[in-house]
Structure 1
Amino acid sequence: MKRTESLGRIVVTLAALVAAMGCLLACSRKSAAGGEGEKAGNTADSAAEVTVTTVARADVTSALTVTGTIAALPNRDAKVSSLVQGRIAGMMVAEGDHVSPGQVLAKIEDRPFLDQIQQAEAAVEQAQANVENARLNRDRNEGLLERGIAARKDVEDARTQLSVNQAALRQAEAALALARLQLARTEVRSPLAGTVVKRFASVGEQVDGTAATPLFEIANLEEVELFGNVPAVYLGKIRVGARLPVITDAFPGKTFAGKVVAISPAVDPSTNVGTVRIRMSNSRRLLRLGMFLSAQLPLETRAKALVVPAQAVYRDEQGNPEVYRVEGDDASAVPVKLGIETKSQVELLSGVQAGDTVILTGGYGLKDHAKVKVREGS
């Protein structure tokens, strides 16, 4: 009986083992089938997704970016100083104020100059009295000489004294005129119409009456100029009268119309650069002295050139330019020679023809004749 039960257990165990092996075999086949399917799927999905563009013909212009700062036009900017020494009694204008020629900008304390005028006037009166006395003395001596009473030497001395006193009168009158001029100079006036762009002093400060201590800077800002440095190799390609766009970070998206008005006839031998002056209208006073600007100077234009967007040009492992020409699902690497390059497009001098389809985005890392999938809508 016990032997029969043992045989039964053995049979059940063998049956369980057979069933387990069958399940393992089935799972193995499913896994193999799944792996093959996944591999096939990976092969189908290995094509790189790209966007494309077409090689087109268009006019393209090369330009040189010139940077510099804003300055006033020649003879339309002045640093105004007091012409006399003294203490500042009043400041009549502030930065940003518009002024006209002759307008009083500041006042220097005038009490010392009024005193000088009084002294000069007194000196003139004294000189006038001396002249009158000398004239009477001359006339008297001449009368006595005619009557034979006075000596000729006395007459000559009287005449000489009159001349000396007349010269002293002229000197006193000149001193009075200078004193009056100095008094007038206590009013510091604007030499031109413009805007007060800077104020250097305040009421109560002492000035020495020289250009070394300016009180104001006045500039006419109706028009301003950009002074830009240009390498000598490009100076011959720039023409006076050329019009060009000028931009500044101070006004993003806004473009100012510039015009080349002068090209430096000499270059700096240490840097081999020359100066170009670009003039702009500034009726709204948006541009300020010292502001940093950049301009695009046109150098050369080529009509109907073969062009592509700048991002359609890639580089091979050696750094040489190339594009990927797309035919069906094949992308072939085509070496190209570049011409004029701008921020938005590049001229291609060789390697492609108008109408060729080339990769715009998605071409980085692709090999020659790589399989690609063009993104819909590109």
Structure 2
Amino acid sequence: MIIMIGCVLLLVAALALGKFLQIRALIAAVPKPAPQTVSTAQVQKLQWQTQFTAVGTLNPVRGADLSTEVAGLVRTVHFKSGQDVKAGALLVELNADSDIALLHSAEAAAAQAATVLKRDQAQLAVQAVSQAQIDADTNDLKAKRAQVEQQAAVVAKKSIRAPFSGRLGITALNPGQYVNAGDKLVTLQTLDPIYADFSLPQQQLAGLAVGQVVNLTVDTFPGQSFTGKINAISPKVDSATRNVQVEATVSNPKLLLLPGMFANVKIDIGGVQEQLTLPSTAVTYNPYGSTVYVVKEAEPPKAGSAGAAGAAGTSAPAANPSGKPQLVAEQVFIETGPTRGDQISIVKGLKAGQVVVSSGQNKLKNGSPVTVDNSVQPTNDAAPTPQEK
């Protein structure tokens, strides 16, 4: 009986060992995933000037579409399209013949009223008229003079003058043309200085102050920068966008900047600091945090593992066909800071000199083997320009 039980146990042990060896052989035969080709970048410590960036719109310090308060026939046009004019310069005259005639009539009536008042004052001295007559003559003279002033104002409206100095736009106005009240005659814009209006998120409001220097660039003049200063910060944050409006005054002596242009605005905040930087493409953003893949050598397999080298289970470092140690990508959580151009600053999670995946991380997972190919690198410029330029 004991011998029978011993035989059964021996048979079970033999079957278990055979099954174990079979499973280990199957595991060893499973093909390992091929390394994924990626490009890499080194974490660098660079001089970093924190900047706020925005897209702004250029607006004139003074700008208006000039029109007329009264209708009339254009008699004379005293300007040319695109001309620079001073404040008070005569631009357009409308036909005012009938209005001038009415003005002369009112002036004559006022002169007659003044004569009557003077004569009645002389008669009052000899008690020929009453004081009531003098009061009536005085009021009549005031009314006549008021009519003169009113008619003179009507005549003045027939002459359109520049309300401020600036540059005139293009107009199709010609002598003999009839214009209605409110019709646009020509635009007038003051170009030097010029305003740059832009918006920034409320989180950046603490770094703004009136008098801060701003730098502008426009696509019209690539490589050229324009300098200005913040002159106003809106006291209200837009409840829909949570942005605050900012206005800067920019010197424009060459009149290169024009109202309506869009501009790229940069504001330097604080002093220059050292920051760890990476290309923005190296960072993967997830709901649970920002991550990068750090490239490092794979650890050698442990003794006795399925992948151990040699029949005796001795350990050996993982290697690729070239004989070099196998590289793997390790996922690391990081905390990012401000960005500039193609670069992003790293606040926490990395050290200078570490190598991270800069492109191709969408096909990786933690521990994936990788092959580095840096023949094509993503851009890593602090002040990039459009590639077509």
- TM-score (structure 1 length as normaliser): 0.69
User: In the alignment, residue 53 of structure 1 is paired with which amino acid?
Assistant: A
Task: Tell me the alpha carbon deviations over residues 354-373 of structure 1, each in whole angstroms, 9 at most, x when there is no partner.
Answer: 12233445555345352425
Alignment partner of 1:205 is 2:178? yes
Q: CA deviation at 1:265?
A: 1.4
Structure 1 distance, partners of 2:88, 2:287, is 70
Following superposition, the deviation at residue 215 of structure 1 comes to: 3.4
- Residues 201-247 of structure 1: per-residue CA shift (max 9 Å, x gap): 66523333xxx555343221101112223333332232222223323
**Which of residues 317, 329, 333 is equivalent to 1:332?**
329
CA distance in 1, matches of 2:241, 2:284: 34
Percent identical across equivalent pairs? 22
When structure 1 is superposed on structure 2, of 186-195 and 258-267 the one drifting more is 258-267
- Whether the 8 Å CA contact 1:64–1:298 is kept in 2: the answer is yes
> How far apart in 2 are the matches of 1:128 and 1:307?
87
Is the 1:49–1:375 Cα contact (8 Å) retained in structure 2?
no
Tell me which amino acid in the other structure corresponds to 1:186.
Answer: K
Matches within 5 A, 1:341-360: 341-360=339-358
Q: Shift of residue 99 of structure 1?
A: 0.7
Partner of 2:155 in structure 1? 183
**In structure 2, distance between residues paired with 1:77 and 1:101:** 13
Matches of 1:161 and 1:78 in 2, distance apart? Answer: 51
Higher gyration radius (CA): 1
Matches within 5 A, 1:117-266: 117-135=103-121, 137-138=123-124, 142=126, 155=127, 157-197=129-169, 203=175, 204-208=177-181, 212-213=182-183, 215-266=185-236
Contact 1:56–1:354, Cα closer than 8 Å, also in 2:
yes
Q: Which residue of 1 aligns with 2:371?
A: 372
One-letter code of the match for 1:126? Q
SS of corresponding position for 1:264: strand
Give the superposition deviation at 1:186: 2.3
For residue 157 of structure 1, give the secondary structure of its aligned residue in structure 2: coil
Distance 2:169 2:345 in 1: 46
Cα deviation for residue 276 of structure 1 reads 0.7
Please say if residues 314 and 321 of structure 1, whose CA atoms lie closer than 8 Å, have aligned partners that are also in contact: yes
* Structure 2: segments with no counterpart, 5+ residues: 1-31, 298-324, 378-389
Q: For the residues of structure 2 that align with 1:270 and 1:79, how far apart are their CA atoms?
A: 31
Query: Secondary structure at 1:266's aligned position in 2?
Result: strand
**Normalized per residue, which structure has more helix?**
1
Distance in 2, matches of 1:87 and 1:258, equals 44
Write out per-residue CA displacement over residues 226-272 of structure 1, whole angstroms, 9 at most, x where no aligned residue: 22233333322322222233233444444332422211112234544
SS of structure 1 residue aligned to 2:236 = coil
Query: CA 1:174/1:271 → structure 2, altered by over 3 Å: closer, same or farther?
Result: same
Q: Aligned-residue CA RMSD in angstroms?
A: 3.6
In structure 1, how many angstroms separate the alpha carbons of the residues matched to 2:197 and 2:247?
Answer: 5
Q: Which residue of 2 aligns with 1:149?
A: none
Q: Comparing 277-286 with 311-320, which one deviates more in the overlay?
A: 311-320
Aligned mate of 2:73, from 64, 87, 101: 87
In the other structure, the counterpart of 1:29 is none
Q: 8 Å contact 1:326–1:359 — kept in the other structure?
A: no
SS in 2 for 1:265: strand
TM-score by length of 2: 0.67
Work out the number of aligned pairs and report it. Answer: 315
Mark the runs of 5 or more structure 1 residues left unpaired by the alignment: 1-42, 143-154
